[in-house]
Amino acid sequence: MANAQLHIVDCEYLKQIEGARRDLHDLLLNNKQFAPIVLRLAFHDAGTYDANAKTGGPNGSIRNELSNPPNNGIKNAIDFCEQVKTKHPKVTYADLYQLAGVVAVQVTGGPFIPFIPGRPDAPDQQDSGALPNPNGDGQHLRDIFYRMGLNDKDIVALSGAHSLGRAHQDRTPGFDGPFTEDPLKFDNSYFVELMKGDTPGLVKFPTDKVLLEDPAFRQFAELYAKDEKVFFADYAQSQKKLSELGFNAPR
Ligand code: HEM
């Protein structure tokens, strides 16, 4: 996402953002099963950011990247958000997807995440920054998230998003099932489950297990398993950072 550009945030834009927030809230509250994939959409639009090249990031370009295998299934979330875009057409896709991610966390019981509007859409762009591979090791996680400009704490906190949702065999061959007992409740159970080891019926990717094996990651994972308040505070900070990669949000 070009750093210098901001979408114009005037009174009408703010009005449409607030309308979109209300509609997303109502729609997701009444259709909670969409919350996990909507959160994943927000991550995959933002997670292509390259802090050196200043390319990718939350710019709405994921609409053009649906054939990229890690984005399997995300079309459901794109279509879900489209009904909100139709009602509030001024809102950029870039803002809409990040706002939807914020609301998905909120309606499932997670922390409040501050949202600043003004992300421009990148027309027709396809971002090249790779998303994480669930079979990767610690070095892979660091390669991907450091490229975005995020750190070890962000990696662990953001992995707690797997408190929501599940793996689907047809999207991620070899993995099928939820990560936690209640995949529609955002809490610290991802870390509690991680500490317990393998539980029949629950999925852990190699990239989840790495958070236990790597001492620098493990200190955060242990803390979040013990203290949900700390997890919520750190998670909110990290998702805000993720949602603002390459975006010079006005303060
Ligand atoms: C740390 C590296 C990560 C890896 C390797 C990873 C990988 C995956 C994979 C393979 C799936 C299963 C997709 C499917 O089969 O449908 C998944 C699901 C999910 N991921 Fe991640 N992810 C990572 C981090 C994140 C982050 C940072 C977020 C959000 C902030 C996130 C949010 C989700 C959600 C909510 C789901 C459930 C989607 C659903 O139920 O359809 N993940 N992730």
**Distance (Å, whole) CA 181 – CA 171:** 21
Query: What residue ranges define each of the domains in the chain, with the CATH number in brackets?
Result: 11-130+239-243 (1.10.520.10), 138-238 (1.10.420.10)
- Chain centroid offset of residue 68 CA: 17
Non-local (6+) Cβ contacts of 85 within 8 A are: 20, 91, 93, 96
**Distance (Å, whole) CA 97 – CA 110:** 17
pLDDT for 249 equals 81
pLDDT for 6 equals 82
pLDDT above 90 covers a percentage of the chain that reads 94
Element (H, E) at 167: strand 166-167
* Ligand 1 near 206 CB (within 6 A): no
In contact, 7 and 118? CB cutoff 8 Å: yes
pLDDT tens for each residue of 153-179: 999 999 999 999 999 999 999 999 999
Average pLDDT over residues 26-31: 98
* Ligand 1 near 140 CB (within 6 A): no
pLDDT tens for each residue of 44-63: 999 999 999 999 999 999 99
Pocket test for ligand 1, best of 135, 162, 185, 241 (most atoms within 8 A of CB): 162
* CA–centroid distance, residue 214 to ligand 1 (Å): 20
pLDDT for 4 equals 47
Catalytic-residue membership of 44? yes
**Distance (Å, whole) CA 36 – CA 28:** 10
In contact, 39 and 184? CB cutoff 8 Å: no
